[in-house]
Each structure stands twice: as C-alpha cells, then as structure tokens.
Copies of this chain bind each other. A is one copy, B any other.
Amino acid sequence: MATDQAAATEPTPYEQFESRIERISNIGNAAGILRWDQEVVMPEGGTPARAKQLSTLSALSHELLTDEETGALLETLEAEELTADQQAVVREVRRQYDRSTSVPQELVAEISEATSNAHPVWKEARAEDEFSIFAPTLEELVELKREYAAHIDPDADPYGVLFADYEPYIDLETAERVLERLREELVPLIEAIADSEVDLETDAFSGTFDDDDQEALARDVLDALGYDWDRGRLDTAPHPFSSGTQFDARVTTRFEEDDLLSSITSTIHEFGHANYTLGLPDAGYGTPLGEARDLSVHESQSRLWENHVGRSQAFWECFLPTAAERFPSLEGDDVTPRAVYESANQVYDDNLIRVEADELTYHLHIVIRFEIERALISGDLDVEDVPEVWNDKYEEYLGVRPETDAEGCLQDIHWSHGSFGYFSTYSLGSVLAAQLYAAAEADLGDLTPAIRNGDFADLNGWLREHIHAHGKRYTTPELIERATGEGLTADPFLEYVRAKYGELYDLE
C-alpha cells in the first residue's frame, strides 16, 4: 500500500518531461520580456547588464534542453503510448534537442561572437557605402554557418539545413518552387503595370500628422480589429515588432509625421502577429501546444491582416471616418476610400529597398536574396561577387540597378545576424496568407461586406479555429493541408494579385 502510494505520487515520465520543457518555455518567455523592455523602455545605460542577463537565460535554457536527462526522457517517451498531443510535444522537443546537441558549444559561441562583432561592421560598411568593409565578415559568417549546417546534417544541402532553422517543416524544394513561380508570374505582371496608363492616387493622406494623434488612431485601429487590451499593449519602437505569449502579446509601432498610411499598415501588420499569439490556447502555455508554428505561418497572419484586410477598399470604407475624426484634414472630398485604397496599393517599379516595397515587387526582392544566399552557402558564388550579382539581378527582375552598395546588398541587417534562409519566410507568409484567406472565404463566403461593416469576428474565428488554436500540434504542411485542403501553393496569391492589380491598373 505504501509502495502504491509512492508510485502514485511519483511523476510519470511525461510529467517529468513536461515540467522540464515548461521550465525552458518560462525562461524563454522571461527573456522575451527582457528583450521587449530593452527595445521599448530600457534606458540606454542598461545595455551591458541586459546582455549578461539575456546570455545567462539563454545558457540556462540551452543546458536544460541539451541535458542528457532530456535525451533519456525523449527516448523513454518515444517508446511509450502517448496521446496525439503528447506525441506532437515530443516531436517538437526532439527536433530542438537533436539540433542543439549536434552543434558543439564552441561553434555556437563562435557564431554568437561573430554575429555580435558583425553588426557594427555591417553598419559601418553601409554608412560608408563600401561592401569591401563587410566582405571578410560575411565570408566568415558564411563559413561558420556552413560548418554549423554540416554538424546538423552532413549529408543534406547546407542551405536547406539553415532554412529549417526558421521553417523546420516546409522543405527547401517547396520553398524554391513557390519562389520560382512568384518570379515567373510577377515579373510580367509588374511589367504590365509599368506599361499601364492608369494614374493611381499616390498620396491620399498628404500632410503632417502629429505623433499623439497617430497613436490615438493606432489605438482606434486595434480597437476596430478587436485587439484584446486586457492581454496586450501598444508602444513605439524604432523597429516595430510584436512579442509575448497568449496571456500578454504586445504590439509596437512607429510614427512618421508625413506618412500616416504606413503607420496604420504597420500597426495592422503587428496586430496580425499579436492576434495569432493571443489565439494560442491558454492550456498549452509552457509547451509547444501553446506556441506559434514557425515564421511562415506567423508572417501569414501579419500579412493577411495587413494586406487582405488593411489594404482593401472595404476596410477604408469602414475606417476612413474614424481616421477623419482624428485628422480633420482628411475630411475633404478628395480623401475617399477609393483614393486611400489606391495609395495603399501603388506599385513602385523603381524602388530598390525591400522594406519600402509594395505587395508585388516585394517578392522579387526576396527571390534575389534567396538565390544569392543559396549560391553563397553552396560555394557557387564568392562573397566578393555579391554586389555585382545583386545588381544584375535587380536589373533583370525589377528593371532597376542599384548605384551603391548601401541601397544594394548592404541594405538589410539579416546577414550580419548570420540569418541565411530567413528572407524566404516573408514571401511564404504572403503566399500562405492568400491561401488562408481564400480558404476562409470558401467556408464563410465573401468577407468584403463584413470588413466594410468593421466586423472581423467571422474571419478571426476561422483563423482561431484553423490556425491559432493548434499551436504546434501539427507540422506546418499538415496545418496548411487541414486548414485549406491542399499543400502550400502560390495559386491563391497569384489569383488575388491578378484580380486586385488587374482592376487597379486596368490590365486585361
């Protein structure tokens, strides 16, 4: 009897495993708060101490994950009968465990140091507009990341291994197929737009817009979309982001006094991320069941809200009166929902900068980075040749050639972080956004009237049910298949942009 009681109170292997991963999750979420604090409220002088705090949390989390006890528990559990949810948790942790234990700590430390050092070098190179300043650093990072990939899987395409750090379940071939398709279809569409004689309204919101009023309007937008203020907040940050958990998912934005529209679309974008996080199940907190699927799915949520909702004419039919209340200068006859819609969907065929790109040319910026990264990591492209290849590709795909490195291959921070493989998740997110939106409309009917009425409950309910509520229960392809009935495909995105831009630019 005494023995039975002891056995009854002894935690099962799954319970032990769960405690361990909840601990790892809580450390990660604590680190998330520290990073939010650093970006949003921390006084500048706090940097050295914050770096030490974050590095301690990261080391603790890594040690818990790679501890042999974790490995032993995984082996035990993989031999047990588990529920489907438990199996999913084990699958996710196994993946992280294998990746983390296969890379030697010295290499992790070396990469971490190299990327810390790379950031100021990249900044200087960009400021000086001189790629050769950054080239040796980029060379070193490429080399280190190749080595990293070889530790994880010496037989796999190293770029595929790196890509899987950001998007573990969509294989590289699928990503490549989607991106090629985008290139093939978007290049002629953008050319047709460039040839169009239609003159879209370019700047429906002209003028200067006070920060405080813009902030009030950003709160109006979040109110309109149904943001849960009891579990969130809005602040400003130099580089807007959203972060947190299902209990506390915060949004940041920024304001430019001459660009009201970009502050609104950026706020809607971050709402999309936060809204996904808020839809994760409370009960899953602390395990992968309560965590968001990876970058492409996250980006699908931000882009669905930003592009399919926030850049629609229906949304502006709903929201323009609110904007005009905050900014009486918008009450004139010229500022119509149609004019805002046109301004929000202008295609810029002479733009060199990814973060300023429109919904179409954006993907060619990504395709170029993807092709260059692949070639760099495979060794087919030398670092010193990056600027020329970059510029050639811009000329070929976008018809515009950067005249400087600063507005060419030095424009993005990602490579200084050693993040090779990240960029494509942005495009995959857009593609998936369109696919999900089409699937939602297939289930719910045309969403335009609801958006026009400011009623987002059905759309959000659909996303909650088909995406948010599942956390990491399914792999990304399973999640997409279950939500849309098919694998990841660019078709709905291409259909969406052809219809939208065909109408806007009067294409045949």
Q: Which segment, of A41-49, A83-91, A411-419, faces chain B?
A: A41-49
Any chain B CB within 8 A of the CB of A29? yes
Q: Could you tell me the distance between the alpha carbons of A272 and B443 in the complex, rounded to whole angstroms?
A: 62
Q: Could you tell me the distance between the alpha carbons of A492 and B192 in the complex, rounded to whole angstroms?
A: 87
Known: A22-B52, A34-B30, A49-B29. A43 touches B231 (CB 8 A): yes
The number of times this chain is found in the oligomer is 2
Residues of A218-264 at the interface with B, using a CB-CB cut-off of 8 Å, are 228-233, 244-248, 250
Chain B residues with CB below 8 A from A27, complex form: 56-57, 60
User: Which of chain B's residues has its CB closest to A286's CB?
Assistant: B52
User: Which of chain B's residues has its CB closest to A229's CB?
Assistant: B43
Chain B residues with CB below 8 A from A233, complex form: 41, 43
Chain B residues with CB below 8 A from A247, complex form: 45-50
Chain B residues with CB below 8 A from A446, complex form: none
Any chain B CB within 8 A of the CB of A33? yes
Any chain B CB within 8 A of the CB of A354? no
- Minimum distance in angstroms from A420 CB to a CB of chain B: 30
Asked if B230 and A52 sit within 8 Å, CB to CB, the answer is: no
- Minimum distance in angstroms from A11 CB to a CB of chain B: 15
Asked if B37 and A33 sit within 8 Å, CB to CB, the answer is: yes
Q: Could you tell me the distance between the alpha carbons of A233 and B45 in the complex, rounded to whole angstroms?
A: 11
User: Which of chain B's residues has its CB closest to A247's CB?
Assistant: B49
Chain B residues with CB below 8 A from A245, complex form: 46, 49
Known: A46-B231, A48-B247. A53 touches B41 (CB 8 A): no
Of B48, B56, B246, B285, the contact of A23 (CB 8 Å cutoff): B56
- Minimum distance in angstroms from A475 CB to a CB of chain B: 26
Of B26, B43, B49, B232, the contact of A43 (CB 8 Å cutoff): B232
Chain B residues with CB below 8 A from A286, complex form: 52
Q: Could you tell me the distance between the alpha carbons of A244 and B34 in the complex, rounded to whole angstroms?
A: 13
User: DSSP majority for the A interface?
Assistant: helix
User: Which of chain B's residues has its CB closest to A49's CB?
Assistant: B247
Chain B residues with CB below 8 A from A26, complex form: 52-53, 55-57
User: Which of chain B's residues has its CB closest to A46's CB?
Assistant: B248
- Best-surrounded residue of A23, A33, A50 (most CB of chain B within 10 A): A33
User: Which of chain B's residues has its CB closest to A278's CB?
Assistant: B45
A 9-33 to B, binary, CB cutoff 8 A, 1 in contact else 0: 0000000000000110011011101
- Minimum distance in angstroms from A375 CB to a CB of chain B: 40
Q: Could you tell me the distance between the alpha carbons of A204 and B34 in the complex, rounded to whole angstroms?
A: 43
Residues of A60-111 at the interface with B, using a CB-CB cut-off of 8 Å, are 60
Chain B residues with CB below 8 A from A231, complex form: 43, 45-46
Q: Could you tell me the distance between the alpha carbons of A248 and B245 in the complex, rounded to whole angstroms?
A: 25
User: Which of chain B's residues has its CB closest to A282's CB?
Assistant: B48
- Minimum distance in angstroms from A207 CB to a CB of chain B: 26
Q: Could you tell me the distance between the alpha carbons of A42 and B55 in the complex, rounded to whole angstroms?
A: 23
Asked if A56 and B30 sit within 8 Å, CB to CB, the answer is: yes
Q: Could you tell me the distance between the alpha carbons of A45 and B246 in the complex, rounded to whole angstroms?
A: 9
Asked if B228 and A45 sit within 8 Å, CB to CB, the answer is: yes
Q: Could you tell me the distance between the alpha carbons of A59 and B20 in the complex, rounded to whole angstroms?
A: 12
Chain B residues with CB below 8 A from A23, complex form: 56, 59-60
Chain B residues with CB below 8 A from A232, complex form: 43, 45
User: Which of chain B's residues has its CB closest to A59's CB?
Assistant: B23
Known: A26-B52, A52-B22, A286-B52. A248 touches B45 (CB 8 A): yes
* Chain A residues close to B by CB (< 8 Å): 22-23, 26-27, 29-31, 33-34, 37, 41-50, 52-53, 55-57, 59-60, 228-233, 244-248, 250, 282, 285-286
Would you list 23 pairs from A and B whose C-beta atoms are within 8 A, ordered by A residue? Answer: A23-B56, A26-B52, A26-B55, A26-B56, A26-B57, A27-B56, A30-B30, A30-B53, A30-B56, A33-B34, A42-B248, A43-B230, A43-B231, A43-B248, A45-B247, A46-B244, A46-B248, A47-B247, A48-B247, A49-B245, A49-B248, A49-B285, A52-B285
| Nearest 7 CB-CB pairings of A with B | A46-B248, A45-B231, A26-B56, A49-B247, A45-B230, A30-B53, A26-B53
Beyond contacts A30-B31, A60-B60: 18 other A-B pairs, Cβ-Cβ < 8 A, are A22-B52, A22-B56, A23-B59, A26-B57, A27-B56, A27-B60, A42-B248, A43-B231, A45-B228, A45-B247, A46-B231, A46-B247, A46-B248, A47-B247, A48-B282, A49-B245, A49-B246, A50-B248
